[in-house]
């Protein structure tokens, strides 16, 4: 395990607890997901997946809200992600699957994939994926996500804390 077993020629590595490493190919970082044959933004994909894998299973910290003056300026709006986040995601995932949503997309595989697809759409980083079965258009923008799956939109929006702040969305010219 660990970094010793990493393929140094890899163009993509997703998070694993053993490696704690994310790798994305330069061609994807510089590519525009809105153009054909580029695919989604792997930076947003691997980060969203790692966020879930690292935080979704950690226990509740009973002292998180009792830190008093130890809170740094950048932490003021930070919401701790833990098993409560995973429980909410599980509920949303089951509701979406029972409603037949997201068919024909990676989101149906498990709740980590569901979360990741939601984050990609939220940041306009989904690329040129096809629309889910029965949907009239792809779910590849924040607005489309809000319309198609309001619960997942609300969770991503709350987690990323963008209400009332800079509306950041992926565009290759910001690199």
- pLDDT tens for each residue of the chain, 175 residues long: 556 677 777 777 888 888 788 888 887 777 777 777 677 888 889 999 999 999 888 999 888 878 877 777 666 666 778 999 999 999 999 999 999 999 999 999 999 999 999 999 999 888 888 899 989 999 999 999 999 999 999 999 988 877 777 777 767 665 5
pLDDT of residue 154: 96
Inter-helix orientation angle 150-160/111-122, to 10°? 70
The confidence score (pLDDT) of residue 78 equals 67
Q: What is the reported pTM?
A: 0.85
Give me the pLDDT at residue 172, please.
65
What per-residue confidence (pLDDT) applies to 104?
94
Residue 66: the pLDDT is 81
Report residue 115 as tokens.
């979360």
Rounded to 5 degrees, what are φ and ψ at 24? Answer: -135, 135
Looking from the CA of 62 toward its CB, the CA atoms found within 13 Å total: 0
77's CB contacts (< 8 A; 6+ apart) are 161
> What pLDDT does residue 85 have?
95
Closest C-alpha among 25, 46, 40 to residue 125 = 40
For residue 46, with 0-12 CB atoms within 10 Å meaning exposed, 13-18 middle and 19 or more buried, which class applies?
A: buried
């Amino acid at each position: 395990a660990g970094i010793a077993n990493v393929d140094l020629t890899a163009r993509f590595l997703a998070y694993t607890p053993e490696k704690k490493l994310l790798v994305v190919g330069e061609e994807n970082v510089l590519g525009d997901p809105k153009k054909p044959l580029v695919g989604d933004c792997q930076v947003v994909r691997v980060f969203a997946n790692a966020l879930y894998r690292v935080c979704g299973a950690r226990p509740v910290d009973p002292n998180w809200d009792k830190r008093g003056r130890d809170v740094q300026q950048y932490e003021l709006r930070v919401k701790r992600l833990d098993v409560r986040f995973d429980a909410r995601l599980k509920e949303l995932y089951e509701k979406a699957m029972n409603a037949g949503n997201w068919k024909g997309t990676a989101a149906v595989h498990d709740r980590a994939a569901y979360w990741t697809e939601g984050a990609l759409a939220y940041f306009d980083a989904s690329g040129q994926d096809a629309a889910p079965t029965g949907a009239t258009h792809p779910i590849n923008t924040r607005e489309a996500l809000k319309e198609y799956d309001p619960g997942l939109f609300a969770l991503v929006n709350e987690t990323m804390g963008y209400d009332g702040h800079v509306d950041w969305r992926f565009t290759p010219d910001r690199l």
